[in-house]
Structure 1
């Protein structure tokens, strides 16, 4: 095996690690409003769960978090800390409920601690830790991926698939769905992720958006929902 092929394999494994639900950042504890949609009777079966998550992928994630992860990945590579801070601020300002804001900040902090514990000595970790009020998940993920040496597109595919796995696991518990149904929903998301990633990677700053009124309302309602399995 050539050194180049070996390096590519190592980077791929690192991205798989970052996308894994076993990564200790707490992604499994959030449903991102899905639990509230189930409680409201908007998602009651496999087909509706798949449709809901596909809409969330294209209308929310691709237009905001994946696009920010793309920009932050390039900024970390180029040492452009001002742009990193701007992108981090944008994520914080566009979260439409306290639960959504707490999720991105908690996961960002947790990934920062995981990166510190790896002991790589990367001086950029100090810049990530200095982001106020906290590093957000897409920005922290972008730095973790930049450390792997992986290309941008593969980084964004990893980011999106990690989201998809966590959301399908949330659907299994909240709807609820069986394992086979969950795999079919995940297959639908996997088919749609490459196009969503390509769209996000080509968005200009003025084209990013975070406008999902129904999701914002459901998220706010979830804060006082009577019975909850998830933190969002």
Structure 2
């Protein structure tokens, strides 16, 4: 009879213990589609793009989302998340207020303002209810006005001492996944095609996360006029499934 002995390397067994495991657990929870921020209610203007024929198949959805991610709201939100995270980590309350105010003013339409402000508020409320920490309440007290979604994620993750890089990458993955979910219901697309679009956007998510991590507020900017127009036109669209 042969006996097989399985040996576990100590460094491998301990690799995801302690703070690393807690950080991963919280990111997976906070940026899961099941986390109660109401993301399923919003399409970020994709509904109008489908209605007008700009999006009608996996390829056009991928192209639209790649532009939104790399040259539009995806990149800008990544910058705001990064700057909020750094401000909290450095206890720079003036910088945090400036970032929060600028991020709130940067959205191009009323519906997008509703979307990001409502999700930011819901994210903070749910995180505080289940994962409150000593550093979070004092940070929130320093912010005046609405805290939009990317700032909320950066703020909460920094208060929990979760590193910026995985937070930023997980956030952009969640944003793109929600866009694809909206597109799959509107076009409609099958589950396999939706996963193919997500897979094709993987390099763009990684590259945008790196750009946003390195960018300052002076480098903010977008070049997605059609997507911005979609978010405005959606306000008067005759039939709607989504709130944006």
Query: Are 1:128 and 1:140, in contact at CA under 8 Å, matched by a contact in 2?
Result: no
2:189 is the counterpart of 1:163: no
Contact 1:35 1:174 in 2 (8 A): yes
The equivalent of 1:128 in structure 2 is: 140
Q: Which residue among 65, 71, 81 is the counterpart of 1:53?
A: 65
Alignment of 1:175-214 (within 5 A): 175-214=187-226
Larger radius of gyration: 2
> For the residues of structure 2 that align with 1:191 and 1:88, how far apart are their CA atoms?
28
CA deviation after TM superposition for structure 1 residue 149, in Å: 2.9
1:102 is the counterpart of 2:123: no
- Counterparts of 2:69 and 2:51, CA distance in 1: 21
**2:40 maps to which of 14, 23, 28:** 28
SS of equivalent residue, structure 2 residue 146? coil
Structure 2, gaps ≥5 residues long = 1-12
- Structure 1: unaligned runs, 5 residues or longer: none
SS in 1 for 2:236: coil
Higher mean C-alpha deviation, range 6-15 or range 24-33: 6-15
Contact 1:62/1:200 (CA < 8 Å) preserved in 2?
no
Match of 2:23 in 1: 11
Q: Confirm or deny: 8 A CA contact 2:133 2:160 kept in the other structure.
A: no
Q: CA RMSD in A?
A: 1.8
TM-score under structure 2 length normalisation:
0.89
Residues in 2 aligned to 1:180 and 1:3: alpha-carbon distance in whole angstroms? 33
Q: Deviations over 1:100-139 (max 9, x none)?
A: 1111110111112112212624343354266333111111
SS in 1 for 2:99: helix
